[in-house]
Structure 1
Amino acid sequence: MYPLEQRELVAEAAGLRMQILTLAAGQEVPWHWHSEVTDTFWCMEGPMVIETRAPNSVTVLQPGQMHAVPPHTAHRVTGQDGGRARFAILQGVGTYDFKPVGG
């Protein structure tokens, strides 16, 4: 797994997981994709940046904003300009996996 300032598991059930992740300055959720689950992000402290490939996009979320990344879409998450970010992430519905991109 990748380093985070904090990872808080809020709830987990078959096919569904809710966490709160905190990225320290300079940390990231590295490029990856999921076979089944959609990642739905709610920014709590930010701003935070969600980048995707195929389609290529950059979404900046301010606190209170949300954005969903569907299955089979490569994405990574950072704080804007390498800053700190804290966000809730709902992952589902389906079996969770983490497929790294590149290497």
Structure 2
Amino acid sequence: MTATPPYVIAGKETILTTDQARVTLMTLAPGQAIPPHRHSQVTDMTFCLEGQAAVRFPDTGETVALSVGQHASVPPGRLHEVANVGDGVCRLLLSRDRGSTIFCLNRRAPSVAWSTFPVSCSLRRCPKC
């Protein structure tokens, strides 16, 4: 089963999919973001190819600013969101092992959103919000 993720961004292209990993090119227009989520068993690597991005950790208030050539690593289970914080387009290369993604659509009252992304990445309700 395939589902649309619970957010809208300018573009998403899967570059590579194997049994162990997935690499995705994401394009975010100014102000767009991938909402708070966590990966249950995988490390998420975000590389900034164009523009300016921020990887935010809502549970701690920490923010990692990314400019072209910089990257951030998010360990399994860590709540995070990724946003375009610049005035122009932001292109990000995301690399991660295969595994679950749990979205926290509303930090105060999370919506239930479960289905399956292409490439067997399941969306589930966040039990920690």
Q: 2:89 aligns with which of 84, 88, 93?
A: 84
With a CA cutoff of 8 Å and minimum separation of 6, indicate the structure with the bigger relative contact order.
1
Match of 2:13 in 1: 8
Partner SS state of residue 30, structure 2: coil
- TM-score under structure 2 length normalisation: 0.71
Does the 8 A contact of 2:51 with 2:86 survive in 1? no
Displacement after TM superposition at 1:27 (Å) = 1.3
Change (3 A) 1:83 1:49: farther
Displacement after TM superposition at 1:81 (Å) = 5.2
Aligned positions of 1:20-99 closer than 5 A: 20-80=25-85, 84-92=89-97, 95-99=98-102
Higher alpha-carbon Rg: 2
Which residue identity does 1:88 align to in structure 2?
L
CA distance in 1, matches of 2:63, 2:88: 16
- TM-score under structure 1 length normalisation: 0.88
**Structure 1: 4+ residue segments shifted above 6 A:** none
Between Structure 1 and Structure 2, how many residues are aligned?
101
- Mean alpha-carbon deviation: is it higher for 56-65 or for 81-90? 81-90
Displacement after TM superposition at 1:83 (Å) = 5.2
Q: Which runs of 5 or more structure 2 residues have no equivalent in the other structure?
A: 111-129
Q: Which runs of 5 or more structure 1 residues have no equivalent in the other structure?
A: none
CA distance in 1, matches of 2:17, 2:99: 11
- Mean alpha-carbon deviation: is it higher for 68-77 or for 18-27? 18-27
Hey, which of these two has a bigger chunk of strand by percent? Answer: 1
Matched, 1:17 2:19: no
Does the 8 A contact of 2:31 with 2:85 survive in 1? no
Displacement after TM superposition at 1:54 (Å) = 4.6
Does the 8 A contact of 2:53 with 2:82 survive in 1? yes
